Amino acid sequence: MWRFRDGKAGHERQTAGLVQALGRLRATEVHDLPVAAIRHAAWAWLGGRCEAGRDLPDPDVIVGAGRGCEFPLLAARRARGGRSIYLMQPRLPCGFFDLCFVPHHDAPRAGPHCEPTEGVLNDVEPAPGPRGTTTLVLVGGPSRHHAWDEDAILKQLGSIVFGSRERELLITDSRRTPASTRSALASFVRPGVRYVPFAGTGPEWLRAQLAVVRAAWVTADSASMIFEALTAGIPVGVIAVAAQRDDRISRLAPALAAAGRVTTLDGWLASGRLAAAGPPLAEAARAAALVVARWFSDYDAAP
């Protein structure tokens, strides 16, 4: 299996989720390739060239997520064979790939080359056993879908930090979080409240925290973090972030709240609790089972 990586944590957690789930079903050998390994990838695809992975065995599966992976994925498949699996809504029609897993909120058209998913895939797994007493707070940042009214967001965070309902908090940010917001987050630190900047975490940090915390608050701009928390099988609260425009992404958190999957801050303040967690999402496992059933049912099972 070839896995193209673009260095963006959110994209790499998506591919890691599928790769790990496939590894639980079938014996796999995974080779990671940076997208930069294929220069001028669109031309390489058109020319049937792929200098990346020259010394690697031909792939059965080629996986990628993120726009930078589209043409490397196609170039590798054309030059070396294998099934191309893209995790996101591609800019090209889904028919260019063997299979795309596309979140429902991107309004995909289901078909032989497109399988809708509930949220983006990720590498989070529900952890068995008791959880701790800490609540995780995940802070994103501005995007083309959401504005970033720092004062409004910090006011909401303050009601969580300084209220009496959350006794132990662990706050972290993301690569999109503005420097001024990071400084404000650091000022929240006090007994029972910790702040760990994104820059000080490793690739496994978030998954490890989601395995042990009792609940999570997530800013509404981050669809991936919301679905990671839902996959962990814990109660999830959403901190409102003003929409930059009315689109599928900006409507996602309100839709999840209306469906009872997450709790808004106003709902939490009114009721005094987060809605109980529903069944954990297991979309990576479902996607892997679909891939195996479609193409690899006669391959060796995982040891």
Residue 100, burial from CB neighbour count under 10 angstroms (0-12, 13-18, 19+): buried
Would you say residue 302 lies in a domain?
A: no
Q: Which residue has the higher pLDDT, 3 or 222?
A: 3
Count helices and strands (H / E) in the chain. 10, 12
The string of pLDDT tens digits covering residues 109-138 is: 878 999 999 989 999 988 777 889 999 999
Instruction: Say if residue 140 is in the same domain as residue 267.
Output: yes
pLDDT for 249 beyond 90: no
Domain count, the chain: 2
Instruction: Say if residue 165 is in the same domain as residue 85.
Output: no
pLDDT for 40 beyond 80: yes
The three-class DSSP label of residue 116 is: strand
Q: Residue 92: which pLDDT band, with cuts at 50, 70 and 90?
A: very high
Instruction: Say if residue 163 is in the same domain as residue 241.
Output: yes
Query: What whole-number distance in Å separates Cα of residue 264 and Cα of residue 135?
Result: 15
The string of pLDDT tens digits covering residues 270-297 is: 998 899 988 898 999 999 999 999 999 9
Q: What's the pLDDT at 279? A: 87
Would you say residue 85 lies in a domain?
A: yes
CATH number at residue 220: 3.40.50.850
Q: Look up the domain containing 240 and give its range.
A: 135-271
Instruction: Say if residue 116 is in the same domain as residue 206.
Output: no
Q: What is the pTM of this model?
A: 0.87
Q: What's the pLDDT at 203? A: 82
Query: Would you say 193 and 113 are in contact if contact means Cβ atoms under 8 Å apart?
Result: no
Query: Which amino acid is it at 70?
Result: E
Among 169, 173, 217, 164, which residue's Cα sits nearest to residue 193? 169
Residue 172 pairs in a beta bridge with 138, 196
Would you say residue 277 lies in a domain?
A: no
Instruction: Say if residue 14 is in the same domain as residue 111.
Output: yes
The string of pLDDT tens digits covering residues 200-231 is: 998 889 999 999 999 999 999 988 899 999 99
Would you say residue 128 lies in a domain?
A: no
State the average pLDDT over residues 9-38: 92
pLDDT for 58 beyond 90: yes
Residue 115 pairs in a beta bridge with 101
Q: What's the pLDDT at 302? A: 79
Query: What whole-number distance in Å separates Cα of residue 163 and Cα of residue 220?
Result: 20
Query: What whole-number distance in Å separates Cα of residue 262 and Cα of residue 23?
Result: 31
Share of the chain above pLDDT 90, in %: 69
CATH number at residue 69: 3.40.50
Instruction: Say if residue 222 is in the same domain as residue 248.
Output: yes
Query: Would you say 182 and 196 are in contact if contact means Cβ atoms under 8 Å apart?
Result: no
Among 255, 245, 242, 174, which residue's Cα sits nearest to residue 9? 174
pLDDT for 59 beyond 90: yes
Would you say residue 94 lies in a domain?
A: yes
The string of pLDDT tens digits covering residues 139-169 is: 999 998 899 999 999 999 999 999 867 789 9
Query: What whole-number distance in Å separates Cα of residue 133 and Cα of residue 242?
Result: 30
Supply the DSSP string of 121-133, one letter for each residue. Answer: --S--PPPS---S
Instruction: Say if residue 187 is in the same domain as residue 114.
Output: no
Cβ neighbours around 67 below 10 Å, total: 15
